[in-house]
Amino acid sequence: MFAVLGNIEFEVTAYWDGFNTSFGADYAEHGRIEGKPGLQFIGAKLDEITISLVFHKQYCTPDVELKRLTEAMRAHQAMALVFGNGDYRGWFVITALTSTSEHTDAKGNVLAMNASLTLREYIGDPKNPLKPPAIETPVPNVSAITQAVQKVSNFSASLRTAVTYAKKAQSAVKAVKTTVQIVKRMKNNPETALLQIPGLLTQVGNVLTPLSQVAPAFKKAAEAISDTAVQAEKMMPEITAVNKAANEMLNQVKQVATLLQGVDSKNVIEKLEAISKHVEAASDTFKGAEPALSKLTAEIVKRVEAYAP
């Protein structure tokens, strides 16, 4: 993970094409008779960050990535910006988002896209400032965790792997959902719809691969600190929620893969209707786990790294 903005995780540095930060201070100017004016400090200006992004079909679905940024902007919510090395930049709101499609295929699908994201610092109530997105409840049995410090490094790596797989699956299922919606519009042209099935199979595979690794990674994380596995689960109950959602989602996507077998021009529309229901169910399942996944991501960045030797 390179950085996380709220629950939006940037997994590859190739997404980032530029990162500009603007700081400033406000001064009041007081005129003087027969002299130069004086300046009086008023306060600091809000930090502003402009991020240049490049989305390419080789490592993501450009339309899907743009959509989740657009949804975050329209939610009008402050989000914490934390880098993978634990550098917490503060809380920000998205004030502007622009995109330019660089390349498309013959059907209008975007293959390469440039985007610019503008973030502005959000202070909130100065008397009750927003805290970094770490788990707010006290960490139980700290002494027991300290005794297992040599194993926590492995736990951290395994947990990070599990969360990364979950995030990849989440992004991939959004791409599948978008494709299914597009193909369903071709119900009056089954032959054209059938041509989209190979690509849809590939996208389903992109979901199944990371999903099948989530549970083993969580299991490995527990084994890495077997002496303190119970304490770790209490410290991060979100593990259970994400793991359960991943398993349910895996079952739904397996149903999709089964339905895609034996598709022809006569049944493609009928099967797409059934596939759509499973994809919607998978999407809703993981949407319910998004708060836990976001909190778990923040826990990895802010807490788990702190316990590593």
How much is the pTM?
Answer: 0.45
Domain 3-27+41-121 matching CATH 2.40.30: the answer reads yes
Q: Evaluate if residue 152 carries a pLDDT over 70.
A: no
CB burial of 167-187 (b: ≥16 within 10 Å; e: otherwise) equals: bbbbbbbbbbbbbbebbeebe
Taking the C-alpha atoms of residue 54 and residue 111, their distance in angstroms, rounded to an integer, is: 11
pLDDT at residue number 10: 64
Length of the chain: 309
Taking the C-alpha atoms of residue 28 and residue 49, their distance in angstroms, rounded to an integer, is: 25
Is pLDDT larger for residue 227 or for residue 104? 104
Query: Is 244:202 a contact under the CB 8 Å cutoff?
Result: no
Token pair recorded at residue 308: 């590593």
Q: Where are the domains of the chain?
A: 3-27+41-121, 142-307
| Stretch among 52-66, 98-112, 225-239 having the lowest mean pLDDT | 225-239
Residues 6 or more apart whose Cβ sits within 8 Å of residue 18: 50, 51, 52
pLDDT at residue number 304: 44
Q: Evaluate if residue 309 carries a pLDDT over 60.
A: no
Is pLDDT larger for residue 10 or for residue 286? 286
| Stretch among 33-42, 56-65, 98-107, 252-261 having the lowest mean pLDDT | 56-65
Is pLDDT larger for residue 265 or for residue 44? 44
Determine how many CB atoms are found less than 10 A away from the CB of residue 242: 24
Taking the C-alpha atoms of residue 299 and residue 155, their distance in angstroms, rounded to an integer, is: 13
Token pair recorded at residue 124: 């909130």
Token pair recorded at residue 78: 């402050």
Domain 142-307 matching CATH 1.10.3430: the answer reads no
Q: How large is the angle between the packed helices 238-259 and 149-184, nearest 10 degrees?
A: 40
Query: Is 1:9 a contact under the CB 8 Å cutoff?
Result: yes
pLDDT at residue number 42: 93
What is the layout of strands, in order, in the sheet containing 48-56? 8-10, 3-5, 79-83, 88-104, 110-121, 48-56, 16-22
Q: Determine the 3-state secondary structure of 195 from DSSP.
A: helix
| Average pLDDT estimate for 6-25 | 70
The alpha carbon torsion through 99, 105, 108, 111 (nearest 10 deg) reads -30
